[in-house]
């Protein structure tokens, strides 16, 4: 039986562990104490959580100031409002100034479902990738989320971590060690490589296991959790040893991992069929339940399996 866990629990647990070990951690929220699940940390370290209210621009500016004062500052609020409403402060106060602020983008993708495009974050990877100086990560499970927090706290400079709001499959065991830049190969297969981002890695894992049970198709599965830095050589080697590539993301196809893989293939002259699954470029995401939205874009397990079958049929 597969274990499921909330990525935020892993992140908050790591923040508490680091603070207990003596790290000078401050967490800032924008009326997002429940969204961030920061409660256990707040109860233990009430003087280390600052709630600015619904004022994301102020939060980011204050976080930069506290970081300049020597603190390790984590902001934790909804991704659409971090990259949208506080865009200028993220760009100038954090990224351009290279301040030691770690930004947790909560409820990313279409987590808010029926609240639709005002609350969807299908452009956060694209927007953050346009800024300099910031490292960009998207954990697929609780284990990886906790280790990314450890890394972010230890490294000097801006970090963006894309998080989610529900329980997802735990795909890593206790022996796993997150390595910035490294494509994380979860299943070593053949012919088709499925490269997935964040919480849809669980969908891709279900799809690969379904195809294995059917027999005849054994895809490789790659968790592309480190977007910047990224070991382009390692990713190119994965692409080159397969006959076809499928990318999967709960993000716009503009500026997401599909685009990253496409550019890599073009620059290195790697000719392979590439199918990119995600929110249609140039459109806002449909509204509805997350399950329904994933089904609509073919980024659920059934849709991914169908796409891989089609690639193999070629």
What percent of the chain is predicted at pLDDT more than 90?
Answer: 97
pLDDT in tens, 63-93: 999 999 999 999 999 999 999 999 999 999 9
226-276: pLDDT as tens digits: 999 999 999 999 999 999 999 999 999 999 999 999 999 999 999 999 999
Give per-residue pLDDT as tens, 93-140.
Answer: 999 999 999 999 999 999 999 999 999 999 999 999 999 999 999 999
Could you tell me which residues are beta bridge partners of residue 235?
none
Q: Spell out the domains of the chain, with CATH numbers in brackets.
A: 4-169 (3.40.50.970), 184-313 (3.40.50.920)
Q: What per-residue confidence (pLDDT) applies to 274?
A: 98
* Mean pLDDT confidence for 6-24: 97
pLDDT for the residue numbered 16? 98
Check pLDDT > 90 for residue 1: no
Of the pLDDT bands very low, low, confident and very high (cuts 50, 70, 90), residue 194 is very high
Residue 62's pLDDT is what? 98
Per-residue confidence band for 2, with pLDDT thresholds at 50, 70 and 90? confident
Contact criterion met (CB below 8 Å) for 245 and 258: no
């Amino acid at each position: 039986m597969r274990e499921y866990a909330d990525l935020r629990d892993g992140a908050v647990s790591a923040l508490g562990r680091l603070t207990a070990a003596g790290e000078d951690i401050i967490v800032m929220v924008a009326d997002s104490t429940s969204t961030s699940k920061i409660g256990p940390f707040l109860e233990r370290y009430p003087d280390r959580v600052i709630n600015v209210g619904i004022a994301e621009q102020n939060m980011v500016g204050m976080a930069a100031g506290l970081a300049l004062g020597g603190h390790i500052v984590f902001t934790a609020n909804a991704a659409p409002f971090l990259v949208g409403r506080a865009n200028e402060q993220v760009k100038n106060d954090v990224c351009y100034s290279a301040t030691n602020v770690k930004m947790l983008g909560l409820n990313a993708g279409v987590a808010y479902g029926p609240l639709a495009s005002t609350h969807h974050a299908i452009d956060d990877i694209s927007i953050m990738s346009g800024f300099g100086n910031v490292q960009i990560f998207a954990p697929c499970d609780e284990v990886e989320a906790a280790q990314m927090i450890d890394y972010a706290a230890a490294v000097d400079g801006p970090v963006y971590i894309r998080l989610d709001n529900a329980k997802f499959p735990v795909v890593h065991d206790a022996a796993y060690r997150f390595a910035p830049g490294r494509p994380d190969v979860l299943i070593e297969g053949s012919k088709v490589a499925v490269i997935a981002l964040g919480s849809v890695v669980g969908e891709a894992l279900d799809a690969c296991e379904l195809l294995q049970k059917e027999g005849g198709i054994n895809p490789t599965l790659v968790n592309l959790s480190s977007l910047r830095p990224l070991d382009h050589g390692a990713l190119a080697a994965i692409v080159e040893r397969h006959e076809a590539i499928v990318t999967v993301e709960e993000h716009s196809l503009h500026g997401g991992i599909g685009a990253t893989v496409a550019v890599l293939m073009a620059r290195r002259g790697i000719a392979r069929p590439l199918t990119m699954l995600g929110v249609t470029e140039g459109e806002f995401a449909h509204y509805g339940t997350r399950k329904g939205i994933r089904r609509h874009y073919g980024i659920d397990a059934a849709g991914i399996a169908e796409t891989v079958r089609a690639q193999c049929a070629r």
